[in-house]
Amino acid sequence: MKHDRAPHLVGILILVAATATAITSAAQRNNDKSGPRMEIEPSDHDFGGVKPNQELLHVFTVSNVGTEPLEIRRISTSCGCTAAIAKTRVLNPGQSTTLEVTLETRKYKGVIEKSVSVASNDPARVHTIRVKAFVEVPERH
């Protein structure tokens, strides 16, 4: 008895085509710059070795790489020892602003790592950046 494999082959081809279409659509959505799109550069900063009781500052760049105005709605930090201020809260397409992040080393010892979350009207919603430092403990004589 001979089986006709054509229906099975057609089913497999349809499945392969549907999978390829879904993968292509997902990739296009990830590369889609329509609407507001926020980028923050760099995504992290390492202050390296520092001393206790210092206030460290690093300036990040927030850019709108989308096609509609970007609204920075909320900036939150993971600790009271960290603060962040955006110079501008609304960015038109192609515009950038600074995000000044300060980290107080206080009486910390060793590695400290804190985060800053920036919420906006970007469909990805929240972008998180990190700052870290190694607080060196002075030797006692």
pLDDT at 140: 74
Q: How far apart are CA 48 and CA 134, in angstroms?
A: 6
Res 49 pLDDT > 70: yes
Flag whether pLDDT at 86 surpasses 80.
yes
> Over 60: is that where the pLDDT of 109 sits?
yes
Using 50, 70 and 90 to split pLDDT, how confident is the model at 25? very low
Please give the pLDDT value at position 28. 45
Residue ranges per domain, the chain?
Answer: 38-135
- Please identify, in words, the CATH class of the domain defined by 38-135: mainly beta
Q: Which residue has the tokens 């300036």?
A: 59
Residue 41, token pair as written in the block: 């550069």
The rounded distance, in Å, linking the Cα atoms of 85 and 107 is 23
122: which DSSP letter? S
What is the pLDDT averaged over residues 80-108? 97
Length of the chain: 141
Q: Are the beta carbons of 120 and 39 closer than 8 angstroms?
A: no
